[in-house]
A and B are shown apart, each in its own frame.
Chain A
Amino acid sequence: MIKLNVNGQAREVDADPATPILWIVRENLKMPGTKFGCGIAQCGACTVHLDGKPIRSCSTPVSAAEGKTITTIEGIAAEDGTLHKVQQAWIEAQVPQCGYCQSGQIMAATALLEKNPQPTDAQIDAAMAGNICRCGMYGRIRKAIKAAAGIDTAAKVEA
């Protein structure tokens, strides 16, 4: 049994320690918000936090998470359901299209703002360049990150 802490909860899984975290959270823990994109840490769709740092869960064995905390997209909103400010900014800037890469994008963005609350454009690009969006919503991602950081207000779309 591998002991894990996922989104603040103690979990145990019976799995090969070499299994990537991605498949553990999706299949064993039934949290499908984290997505499979490439399997070789090239696209960022599988990004989760390990002790608060963004990692590519498709290429990180679950053994590396023992004794550490994993945070997934399901675990960043407040306990009362209030969305993280990055999630809110994502809605306000109407970022997602197909939405498949967005869990990874949001996890990369929340990690960035945690470390650097007022990132420059270049720092945003550097932090987010590992995350591919085939729908091409990069302009809106930049805008939403700045809005969440309070640097810029994303244009609000009517509800």
Chain B
Amino acid sequence: MGKWSRRAFIGAGVAAGGALVVGIAVRPGNPIDGLSPLLTDGENEQLLNAWVKVDTDNIVTAVIPHVEMGQGVYTALAQMLADEMDADWSKVQILEAPADMQYVSDSIGRDFLFPNLQVPALIEPTVAGGILELAQAMGLQFTGGSYSVRATGQRAMRTAGAAAREMLVAAAASEWQVPAAEITTADSMIIHAESGKSEPFATFARAAAEQSLPAKPKLKSPENYKIMGQPKARHDIPEKVDGSAVFGIDADVPGMKYAAVKAPPVIGATIESMDATTAKTMPGVLQILNMGDFVAVVADGYWQAQQALGTIDTRYSKTEGDGLDQDAIFARYASHLDEAGEDGGDMQTEAGDITKGFTEAATKVEAEYKVPFLAHATMEPMNCTAWVRDGKCDVWSGHQAPVNARQAAADAAGLPFEDVTYHNAYLGGGFGRRSDSDAIIMATRIAKATGYPVKMIWSREEDTAQDHYRPSATSRFRGGLDKDGKAVSWDNIHTHLFDPADAPTIPHYNIASHRIRKVDVSMHLRFGPWRSVDHSQHGFFIESFVDEMAHAAGKDGYAFRRELLAKSPRHLKVLDTAAKMSGWGSALPEKHGRGIAFVPSFGSIVAQVAEVDMSGPKPRVTKVYVAADPGFVVNPDGFTAQMESGIVYGLTAALYGDITIKDGAVQQSNFHDYPMLRIDEMPEVEVTLINGDHERLGGGGEPGLPPIAPAVTNAIFAATGTRVRELPIAKHDFA
């Protein structure tokens, strides 16, 4: 697998003995030196490898192969690199990697392709080379899956930092004629205490590049961390308070015009005819384009384009999706689940004897849960600026996978990948939505048709009605309890979603017999990853049903989960911490309730306790207590912010999120009918972080989300006795 030239590169690169890290080493003389011009800025900078450079001012620049969408990845990854390198944090700069295939994050590729693969060290370089090829073929330069810190950071950034440090030390040892072991490093300085010599990194930058690459750079153990584990201020925040941060929508290209677009309300339909008589006469309008699958108006200003678009009368083709309504979709789920019956569907996991488990159960519990479609509603609507001319194409946007965006633009422009330059900017919210390239393709097609640069912006209405939605789903459970009220059997069947594959599974809960199955249901709507992906649905399903089993067993939700986690001390500690923070068991005012939920996801373990006040006309979540163990927290303030953020994103969905379908089209259009949680409904959030395993890190961007919906609905049950089995909560009347 893979080309041998790659292997040679890998073999010669930092990855040779670097375990899972495939360092993409770039330095003078290296065969892939073509990347250097993209990263260097004149002759005073010397590249050490792809993830770090040291210039003559002794500034250390961390090159981040991920995008910043508010998750703090620039800062956290730079902390990991800088700590291993012993860099002076106050002088560390951050550069986003260009959308070049050589930056494909192959450690991510590995985890996607072979999540559990154990590779003998001897053949690692070959496998790594193959993975690099595969990852590149898949166009993975991707930010998502809460992967950045736990994969790229842990395996690549730290190794790159340590390797750079070792090479600098080796260069100094050679120059000073002293053993490398006598040399220490601190704050971007190289020190030989015995001789009193001390020089900045920069002095040896050039000589270091001539050193052989360390086979296996030595990483620090946690007691030596100086920068990791510290709540460092995020690098991207200052420019986000004075209006200077540049988002995709802020692209400014000389001569640029503006496009407003409208696609058929039923996804999959095409434009059959359009009447643009009025639009043509409107001020500023330059071109009206029937693109087949959407209409675009190009004008001198965006508002002019939007006004003209609004006057165009369009007829759409008929599609199979036309007649489909909300109820029919859920009826389709039900019929597929009915058809699968007792033993059908695709088996996902099975343990123990499920038949025996239920035969012997003293109490049986059954429940069905439903969750709706959800839109992402990023604050920055989808947009892209493109310019196709003279066999070249430039594209500006904010995308979670810049390499994919570049390839999509190349395909849309009909140009080779090499002739497309993709300029990534800050993402005004990603949440999975900006991993799709539909907006990139549309803008590139418009720009190809016009020949001049065009900034296409979706209206909020388009953004809401043309999303790649979080799938709706139905999940059915049967559970069995023995005579002591202990869970002994668990049977789940649900409509199929995406990934990760472990989302519906419960390896952390000790239940003797369990079985989890899925059925596939097809539909005309487009789906895409939505923050925490399948954990967003299964977290609610599983933790609701655990609570129902606890109630049937006559136990409270916390005590019942403690029993199920009894053999997992690390899990138990997280659960206990959240319960203790909340004062679990203490009295609450009338019509108030407390609910607990526990969801490990993306390598992190999270427990939440929510408090609700049901005394008013609608549920009010007053407090959320969070305990989280991601292994090791690289940036405590950043991680805490991710927990807060995940909770609000999940709570918004739990309370209100409901994309509904009528005649095949999405009925919602803007924030008045797809409401968001606002500041006056914001609960107090308290977060405790636990470092449970510094070798295996978990993610931060997503794991805060899955527990919130069930924690709240379990709290509503505790306060009212009403079990919410269908989201959103706003559908239910508690008056």
User: Is A bound to B?
Assistant: yes
Within 8 A of B (CB), among A35-89: 35-40, 42-43, 45, 72-74, 77, 83, 87
Residue of A at shortest CB range from B379? A100
Chain B residues in 8 Å Cβ range of A36: 249, 302, 381, 457
Contact status A139-B672, CB under 8 Å: no
Given A32-B243, A33-B242; A40-B249 close (CB under 8 Å): no
CA distance A135 to B237 in the complex (A): 14
Within 8 A of A (CB), among B242-271: 242-247, 249-250, 252, 258
CA distance A30 to B72 in the complex (A): 28
Chain B residues in 8 Å Cβ range of A20: 303
Chain A residues in 8 Å Cβ range of B287: none
Contact status A91-B233, CB under 8 Å: yes
Chain A residues in 8 Å Cβ range of B233: 91, 94, 157-159
CA distance A101 to B428 in the complex (A): 8
- Asked if B647 CB lies within 8 Å of chain A CBs, one says yes
Contact status B243-A73, CB under 8 Å: yes
- Contact digits for A1-40, partner B, Cβ 8 Å, 1 yes 0 no: 0000000000000011001100100011011111111111
Chain B residues in 8 Å Cβ range of A158: 230-233
- Asked if B676 CB lies within 8 Å of chain A CBs, one says yes
- Asked if B304 CB lies within 8 Å of chain A CBs, one says yes
Residue of B at shortest CB range from A100? B428
- Contact digits for A117-159, partner B, Cβ 8 Å, 1 yes 0 no: 0000000111011111111111111100000000000000111
Contact status A32-B645, CB under 8 Å: no
Residue of A at shortest CB range from B680? A125
- Asked if B56 CB lies within 8 Å of chain A CBs, one says no
Chain A residues in 8 Å Cβ range of B465: none
Chain A residues in 8 Å Cβ range of B641: 94, 97, 137, 140
**What's the minimum C-beta distance from B259 to chain A, rounded to whole angstroms?**
13
Q: How big is the A interface, by class? A: 35 or more
Contact status B379-A136, CB under 8 Å: no
**What's the minimum C-beta distance from A15 to chain B, rounded to whole angstroms?**
7
Contact of A45 among B230, B379, B679 (CB under 8 A): B379
Contact status B676-A134, CB under 8 Å: yes
Using a Cβ–Cβ cut-off of 8 Å, how many residues does chain B contribute to the interface with A?
A: 67
Chain A residues in 8 Å Cβ range of B652: 136
CA distance A99 to B240 in the complex (A): 5
CA distance A90 to B234 in the complex (A): 12
The binding surface of chain B is classed by DSSP as loop
CA distance A37 to B676 in the complex (A): 13
Chain A residues in 8 Å Cβ range of B69: 97-98
**What's the minimum C-beta distance from B31 to chain A, rounded to whole angstroms?**
38
Contact status B679-A134, CB under 8 Å: no
Chain A residues in 8 Å Cβ range of B249: 32, 35-36
Contact status A139-B670, CB under 8 Å: no
Contact status B647-A91, CB under 8 Å: no
Contact of B244 among A30, A33, A35 (CB under 8 A): A33
- Asked if B45 CB lies within 8 Å of chain A CBs, one says no
Chain B residues in 8 Å Cβ range of A27: 258, 301-302
Contact status A40-B682, CB under 8 Å: no
Chain A residues in 8 Å Cβ range of B644: 136-137, 139-140
Chain B residues in 8 Å Cβ range of A28: 301
Chain B residues in 8 Å Cβ range of A125: 679-680
Contact status B679-A131, CB under 8 Å: yes
Given A91-B237, A91-B238, A158-B230; A139-B460 close (CB under 8 Å): no
- Contact digits for B113-144, partner A, Cβ 8 Å, 1 yes 0 no: 00000000000000000000000000000000
On A, residues with C-beta under 8 Å from B are 15-16, 19-20, 23, 27-28, 30-40, 42-43, 45, 72-74, 77, 83, 87, 90-91, 94-103, 106, 124-126, 128-142, 157-159
Report, nearest first, the 4 A-B pairs whose CB atoms are least far apart: A33-B243, A136-B648, A97-B70, A100-B428
Between A and B, 9 residue pairs with Cβ closer than 8 Å are: A27-B302, A28-B301, A36-B249, A43-B676, A98-B378, A100-B380, A125-B679, A136-B644, A157-B637
Known: A32-B250, A96-B241. 16 other contacts (CB 8 A): A23-B301, A32-B249, A37-B380, A40-B672, A72-B243, A94-B237, A94-B638, A99-B245, A128-B680, A130-B678, A138-B677, A138-B678, A139-B644, A139-B685, A157-B231, A157-B637
